[in-house]
Chain A
Amino acid sequence: MADAIIDIRALSLAYERGGVRNVILSNLDLTIARGEFVVIVGESGVGKSTLLRVLIGLARPSAGKVRLDTRPGCRTPMALVFQDARLLPWRRVIDNVAFGLEGSGLSRAERRAKAAEMLALVGLADLGGRWPHQLSGGQRQRVAIARALAVEPDVLLMDEPFSALDSFTREGLQDELQRIKAQTGKTVLFVTHDIDEAVTLADRVVVLAGSPGRVAAEVRIDVPRPRPRRDAALLDAARSLRAELSRRSADL
């Protein structure tokens, strides 16, 4: 791929526990283009979170290479949104959003201004003064997204960020995310186990499968945006993705 921002080559990862080697990912190749919205789906336990953790530096691969073509010298080329928002409960919302900016050399006022801007972007401009425990689950996840965006990452990593939310909130946030994506042009790598969510959001869906996990299939979702919900083309894409998945699991 000409303009690859992430190039993962022959990535393997194993956990050692009590002398037993548990191979999670093996020989995984994946290339992500700049500005692409890639959604990773796969059964639970296949290693989706592990892959994101490798990219953000929370886990170390046993073999393979990850090449990044992000801005040189950037302190945070990637930012991760966790499944559970993981806000710091002792910080007000605005200071949670400003968290990642603290090593950036910006003054406190500048960090706050940036955080306020990000809060507005996720539609929570008025809630900066609240404590995390005063937010709903959906609001918390929005704050987590704002916190990740605040550090101006080239790549936004999202690990099942909406899976704990009710379906109304989830659909609202999916729309919101697409709007933010269109507005900022960020590259997004998004993990979900929800097929409808995957086809709604993705330029390309990557199926992780097997044990150890590797890329089992890739499906391009060529539906123009904005994508109306339950649009026939999306339903088609979801149907063929489901067919692909069941074929895969029959193979394995």
Chain B
Amino acid sequence: MSLVRSTLLAAAGLLAFLLFWEAMPRLGLINPAFLPPPSTIPAAFLREVSLGIWPEAVLSSLSHYVAGLLAGAGAGVGLGLLSGMFRPFESFTAWIVRLLRPIPGLAWVPFAIIWFGVQPSAAVFIIAIGVFWIVFFATQGAVRGVDRDLIEVAQAFGFRSPLARLTKILLPAATPGILVGLRTALGQAWMAVVAAEIFGVPGVGQRMMQASSLLSTDIVVVYMLTMAALYGLFDSAFVALQGWLLRWRA
């Protein structure tokens, strides 16, 4: 199928979806208070923007998102490298990992609130945990999967220290696998943003909860679409970065 045709089909599909969505409340099949027709969304969006609520909520959520992502991914890459490089470290942490890993990120909310209060740092903490495991396992697996033959090349040229092995071979060779984990984390972190903010930390999630308690479903939809758009933006930027970092691949 040509690119033009598949693009046209995709646009037609989206249009059909919007028409269906518009028709349901308009034909009285669904109460408009439960599902606002899409035509009402732009007005709701403009209202939120002109009140200054939208930029504030988005900026606040973005700051949680970026801080949580950096902390979680940083710790995930760091510990993943250690565990992938050193068997004893992996053995030492094996049961700790088994104990902590199955705990869902949201189960940390009570502690986040006790430790940090209803503060941005609580949201950052929950987001970081949500991201950590994905990145940790991706990194550990990528390091362990590095071709031993390439490590021998480094040794044959006299690079025998763990640090040289890391910087000259392991890190570059593991980059594709680490990036796959990071990209998954990029999406996962948005989930954690909403969850963390629903408990009252200012941001998109909190605004959605407020709006839903007032049955302002059009505002809820505004923020749902906002997150979809932000995710799309970040993911596209990440894919571009990934393509550049991995330009050496066939």
Contact residues of A with B, CB < 8 Å?
56-58, 75-76, 79-80, 82, 84, 86, 88-92, 99-100, 102-103, 131-133, 151
Contacts and interface: CB of A to CB of B under 8 A. Distances in A.
Nearest to A132: B248
B149 A84 contact: yes
A219 to B, nearest CB: 29
Contacts of A88: 150, 153, 169, 172-173
A86 B164 CA distance: 18
B156 A58 contact: yes
A100 B159 CA distance: 8
A99 B157 contact: yes
A90 B173 contact: yes
Interface of B: 149-150, 152-153, 155-159, 164, 168-169, 172-173, 175, 247-250
B157 A89 contact: no
Contacts of A75: 158
A58 B169 CA distance: 16
A92 B247 CA distance: 10
Nearest to B247: A131
Contacts, number: 51
9 contacts: A75-B158, A76-B157, A76-B158, A79-B157, A82-B152, A90-B173, A90-B175, A90-B248, A100-B157
A90 B172 contact: yes
B159 A133 contact: no
A91 to B, nearest CB: 7
The 5 closest A-B pairs by CB, nearest first: A100-B157, A133-B250, A90-B172, A90-B248, A80-B156
Given A58-B152, A84-B149, A91 B157 contact: no
A75 B158 CA distance: 7
A58 B149 contact: no
B248 A103 contact: no
Nearest to A131: B248
A50 B173 CA distance: 26
Nearest to A89: B248
B173 A86 contact: no
A75 B249 CA distance: 32
B158 A82 contact: no
Contact of A57 (B156, B172, B173): B156
Contact of B156 (A79, A84, A131, A132): A79
Contacts of A84: 149
A103 B172 contact: no
A84 B250 CA distance: 18
A86 B247 CA distance: 19
Contacts of B150: 86, 88
A86 B159 CA distance: 15
B38 to A, nearest CB: 46
A86 B158 contact: no
Contacts of B157: 76, 79, 99-100, 151
